[in-house]
């Protein structure tokens, strides 16, 4: 195969930041994606219908052919009226950030149970629960493994609430999602499919491979790769593309996040080819996510992947992307 044409992909987990930076990141996504689900951990966070709509307009103005799917940051104080207003303004998911586990989560939730009344309203309104699955009090490497033990309680109490465990990083999480009811799914990033702790810190520390949840062991990476390539509709693409300016990564305190938007489709193509699963790529990045969220599949816009070498730029707008400087074997272009 030297060329593959697929329906234009959707990315169900993206960070676009705020202010002057947003248009650049939005345009990078516009080059290869149709719909993107935008995360609400901006400064200040997206917590109201008004701020969500304003953010939507900003993204749309910068990248008119990109279709942002909006989210808001969960906290226990939402009233049913506020949640209804968010739903009416187009919110498709509420994002749960446990306190302090990742970028801009200092205002996150301490006790999951405090959110149960909010989950009940979300279930009624048909708003998806999007989970950053890390337990803050656990050892850093084990945070996801500990967090996921609490998930069964959510899906049993709220059998109609759709739940997405974002950016799965462990074999245990893959197994749990596989065994869970059909209303529980997971997003998979490119970086969790190709990196392990060895890449991050097996030799010198590589800040541009640092993200949350942190990349794990070879058996975890393999399980994630297999799940993505398996054709199981519970697993779909969410890049967690998370830009931080170079100086915020290359300093004594390194921000968590990997900028993958410019390379995601080329790297996915390479990984699916290696796994002899090219026939599974389109569902993974242009089908299952939309199906889970109850959105129509986009069939009129396409992405062409061509076997062609190109070298990843060292920086995009001051951000070092995944595989900066590396030559990749596939090139993606919207047609
Ligand atoms: O690595 C990460 N970066 N993980 C997250 O959960 C948030 C993200 C960010 O906003 O930078
Ligand atoms: Zn994220």
Q: What is the pLDDT, as a whole number, of residue 299? A: 95
Ligand minimally distant from the alpha carbon of residue 169: 1
Q: What mean pLDDT value characterizes the chain?
A: 98
Taking the C-alpha atoms of residue 335 and residue 3, their distance in angstroms, rounded to an integer, is 13
Q: Does the beta carbon of 7 sit less than 6 angstroms from any atom of ligand 1?
A: no
> 71 and 40 in contact (C-beta within 8 Å)?
yes
Ligand minimally distant from the alpha carbon of residue 39: 2
Taking the C-alpha atoms of residue 316 and residue 61, their distance in angstroms, rounded to an integer, is 20
- The radius of gyration of the chain's CA atoms, rounded to the nearest angstrom, is 18
Ligand 1, closest atom to CA 258?
1
> 258 and 248 in contact (C-beta within 8 Å)?
no
Contacts of 144 (CB under 8 A, 6+ apart): 133, 134, 135, 168, 169, 170, 172, 173, 213
Distance between Cα 55 and ligand 1 center (Å)? 18
Q: What is the pLDDT, as a whole number, of residue 271? A: 98
Ligand minimally distant from the alpha carbon of residue 213: 1
Q: Does the beta carbon of 45 sit less than 6 angstroms from any atom of ligand 1?
A: no
Taking the C-alpha atoms of residue 292 and residue 298, their distance in angstroms, rounded to an integer, is 14
Once rounded to an integer, what is the mean pLDDT over residues 4-14?
98
Q: Is 10 a catalytic residue?
A: no
For 44-98, what is each residue's pLDDT tens digit?
999 999 999 999 999 999 999 999 999 999 999 999 999 999 999 999 999 999 9
For 172-206, what is each residue's pLDDT tens digit?
999 999 999 999 999 999 999 999 999 999 999 99
Taking the C-alpha atoms of residue 163 and residue 18, their distance in angstroms, rounded to an integer, is 26
For 96-138, what is each residue's pLDDT tens digit?
999 999 999 999 998 999 999 999 999 999 999 999 999 999 9
Taking the C-alpha atoms of residue 35 and residue 81, their distance in angstroms, rounded to an integer, is 27
Candidates 108, 16, 24, 119; CA nearest to 70 is 16
The predicted model scores a pTM of: 0.98
The active-site residue, picked from 11, 28, 220, 240, is 240
Q: What is the pLDDT, as a whole number, of residue 227? A: 99
Q: Whose CA is nearest to atom 10 of ligand 1?
A: 103
Q: Whose CA is nearest to atom 2 of ligand 1?
A: 257
Sign of the torsion angle spanned by Cα atoms 98, 135, 320, 187:
negative
Candidates 138, 202, 151, 224; CA nearest to 181 is 151
Distance between Cα 1 and ligand 2 center (Å)? 33
15 — pLDDT class (breaks 50, 70, 90): very high
Q: Whose CA is nearest to atom 7 of ligand 1?
A: 103
Q: Does the beta carbon of 41 sit less than 6 angstroms from any atom of ligand 1?
A: yes
């Amino acid at each position: 195969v030297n060329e593959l044409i697929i329906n234009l992909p959707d990315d169900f987990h993206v960070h676009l930041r705020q202010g002057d930076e947003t248009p650049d990141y939005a345009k990078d996504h516009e080059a290869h994606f149709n719909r993107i689900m935008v995360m609400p951990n901006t400064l200040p966070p997206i917590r109201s219908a008004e701020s969500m709509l304003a953010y939507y307009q900003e993204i749309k103005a910068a990248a008119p052919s990109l279709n942002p799917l909006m989210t808001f940051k969960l906290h226990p104080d939402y009233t049913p009226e506020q949640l209804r207003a968010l739903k009416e303004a187009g919110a498709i998911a509420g994002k749960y950030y446990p306190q302090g586990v990742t970028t801009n989560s200092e205002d996150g939730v301490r006790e999951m149970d405090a959110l149960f009344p909010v989950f009940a309203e979300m279930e009624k309104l048909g708003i998806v629960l999007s989970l950053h699955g890390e337990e803050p009090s656990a050892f850093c490497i084990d945070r996801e493994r500990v967090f996921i033990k609490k998930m069964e309680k959510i899906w049993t109490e709220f059998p109609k609430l759709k739940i997405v465990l974002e950016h799965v990083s462990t074999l245990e999480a893959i197994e749990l999602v596989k065994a869970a009811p059909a209303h529980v799914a997971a997003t998979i990033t490119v970086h969790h499919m190709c990196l392990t702790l060895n890449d991050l810190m097996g030799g010198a520390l590589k800040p541009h491979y640092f993200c949350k949840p942190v990349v794990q062991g070879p058996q975890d990476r393999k399980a994630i790769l297999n799940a993505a390539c398996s054709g199981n509709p519970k697993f779909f693409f969410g890049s967690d593309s998370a830009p931080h300016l170079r100086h915020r990564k290359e300093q004594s305190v390194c921000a968590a996040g990997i900028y993958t938007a410019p390379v995601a489709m080329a790297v996915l193509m390479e990984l699916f080819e290696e796994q002899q699963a090219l026939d599974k790529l389109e569902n993974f990045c242009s089908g299952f996510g939309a199906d889970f969220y109850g959105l129509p599949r986009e069939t009129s816009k396409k992405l062409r992947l061509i076997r062609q070498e190109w070298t990843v730029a060292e920086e995009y707008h001051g951000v070092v992307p995944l595989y900066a400087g590396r030559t990749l074997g596939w090139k993606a272009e919207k047609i």
